[in-house]
Amino acid sequence: MAKHRFRGDAQSPATRITQEIIARLEAGTKPWIKPWRGVPISRPMRACGTPYRGMNVFWLWMVADMCGYASSYWMTYNQAQRLGAQVRKGEKSTIAIFYKSYTKEVEAPDTGETSEEARRVLKAYPVFNADQVENLPERFHPAATLELVEPEGREQELDAFFGALPAALRHQGDEAYYEPTADRITMPPSQLFSGFDHYYATLAHELSHWTGHASRLDRDLKNRFGTAAYAAEELIALSGQSAPCLSLH
């Protein structure tokens, strides 16, 4: 699955969140089911332990799901530093939002009379999930809630095949995706899969996207869900899923 990328910060917070929700709903029509177990995510929390409220709850839940973050904690860059931690190089922030209410004295153009008018402003600030930050205290990372048991079907030949590829691979969260900008694949831990056949097939799918990077086959990976380019890229990746198994059996 080609991972959906967040858009630039030039957009207003409301526009950005609305467009990401629409894109997520569109992506929800994909015709396959994840062959791994999910990682529960609790209510989003600030670094101080205060729960987020309002739109931030839904928004940060969605971001955590899209990016595979297991921690419920979010913080600014400076908050991470004050905790003696450091945002990992190359990690991208998302936004948290807050409303500011105030009153302003306005003058009626026809009568010249003044009155107080209530106004609200929506603002945003950048935050990082605790999974993007190194050297945080253990309290920022949830204890394992699933019994991690290695599934059946592991094969040395396939381990060697995938291990020989020079792809940047990390195991984190419960989402599988390839990031063209970072040139990196993220996979759920193998213990979350019901069998290694599913793990290998999912990894092969993401590696197929990896081959399209500008430094390799230079395919169009900056495409939107529903476009012909998106469909073509997914067809390539689906075809690549079975290639390693077919070549070894």
Q: What is the CATH number of domain 146-249?
A: 1.10.10
Q: How far is CA 230 from the centre of its chain?
A: 19
**pLDDT per residue of the chain (249 residues) written in tens, 0 to 9:** 434 333 334 567 778 777 777 766 655 434 334 566 655 557 899 999 999 988 888 888 888 877 778 899 999 999 999 999 999 998 999 999 887 777 888 777 888 788 888 877 778 899 999 999 999 999 998 765 556 678 899 999 999 999 999 999 999 877 788 888 889 999 988 988 888 998 999 999 999 999 999 999 988 887 765 677 767 777 777 765 555 444 444
pLDDT on residue 7: 38
pLDDT on residue 240: 59
pLDDT on residue 144: 57
pLDDT on residue 120: 76
The pTM assigned to this predicted structure is 0.51
The first and second tokens of residue 3, run together, are: 């991972």
Calpha distance 58→47 (Å, rounded): 18
pLDDT on residue 26: 59
pLDDT on residue 73: 95
